[in-house]
Amino acid sequence: MKKGELLFEGNEKQVYATDNPDQVIFRYKDVTVAYNNVKRARFIGKGALNNKISAILLNYLNQNGVETHFIEILGEKEQLCRKIEIIPLQVVVHNRIAGSLAARLGVEEGFRHPNTIVDLRYNNDFLEDPFINRDHAFALGLATYQELDEMYNIARRVNELLKPLFHKAGIELVDMKLEFGRASDTGSIIISDEISPDTCRLWDEKTGERMDKDRFRLDLSCVVENYNNVLTRLKQVTES
Ligand code: C5P
């Protein structure tokens, strides 16, 4: 497999072509952005950590019947993935209310609720990723109703699989953002992008310490140390 041209450069990732038209290389950068790119910093080692954490989680999903774009790790910062047609939607799953949802609903950070909440956002930097519903998504031609149903069902399944996995590692999965695409080879809806401390809220079950991007958002320091702690604990529960 040969690395080809740069197809896409985002704030936190690069995507390269390969000599296989159905496969791409994802490269995780050390850059971190928040609040719609208003806040930005570089953390040496973050890219490698997210590459490894995301690989563990996506591989775990693949092994448990949830199709993702992940194929294999290639190096410190790179992984081989299936090529997809991007669906510009973010499906956000909440097990507790925190972050922007807490502000939107006027409840305290960490508010506990009995159900799982699933939100939909339009992935659009210019509009600052607005909350939308299924009708908006269909109206804009982003996905069919059947595809939206599939994405919601997959998102709930991912949550059912990852919540107990993180729990085994002593970490509470508070919320997470998932992205989807249509696989270029089969056309099926699969999980794309990353699942990492950049896209999840992860709280230490014992201490309540934040182990995710909120450390950067809220200037709590020790970003890389906490990501490393997430990786170490996930390795312990998946390799044993
Ligand atoms: O920012 P907000 O509180 O809405 O985030 C909800 C969840 O989605 C968090 O886990 C956050 O890290 C993730 N998220 C993301 N990418 C964004 C916005 C939020 O991964 N652009």
Residue 240 above 80 pLDDT?
A: no
d(CA 217, CA 84): 30
* pLDDT higher than threshold 80 for residue 18: yes
Q: What single DSSP character describes residue 151?
A: H
pLDDT digits (tens, 9 = 90+) for 111-152: 999 999 999 999 999 999 999 999 999 999 999 999 999 999
Superfamily the domain 3-82 falls into: Phosphorylase Kinase; domain 1 (3.30.200.20)
The CATH code for residues 85-222 is: 3.30.470.20
Report yes or no: 87 and 142 within 8 Å, Cβ to Cβ. yes
The answer to whether the CB of 58 falls within 8 A of the CB of 158 is no
- What pLDDT is recorded for position 14? 98
- Report the separation in Å between the CA atom of 2 and the middle of ligand 1, taken as the mean of its atom positions: 33
Give the three-state DSSP class for 148.
Answer: helix
Q: Which ligand 1 atom is at minimum distance from the Cα of 201?
A: 10
Which residue, judged by its Cα, is nearest atom 11 of ligand 1?
Answer: 199
Residue 36: pLDDT band by 50, 70, 90 thresholds? confident
CATH topology match: 3-82 vs 85-222: no
Q: How far apart are CA 118 and CA 234, in angstroms?
A: 25
| Residue with the two structure tokens 């996995």 | 165
Are residues 194 and 50 in contact, defined by beta-carbon separation less than 8 angstroms?
yes
Question: What pTM did the predictor assign?
Answer: 0.97
User: For the chain, what are the domain ranges?
Assistant: 3-82, 85-222
Q: Which residue lies with its CA nearest to atom 10 of ligand 1?
A: 200
The pLDDT, as a whole number, for residue 37 is 87
How many CB atoms are located within 10 Å of the residue 51 CB?
23
What pLDDT, on the 0 to 100 scale, is given for residue 115?
98
Cβ partners under 8 Å of residue 143, min gap 6: 87, 89, 137, 151
Binned at pLDDT 50, 70 and 90, residue 64 comes out as very high
Ligand 1: which residues within 6 Å by Cβ? 92, 99-101, 129, 175-177, 199-201, 213
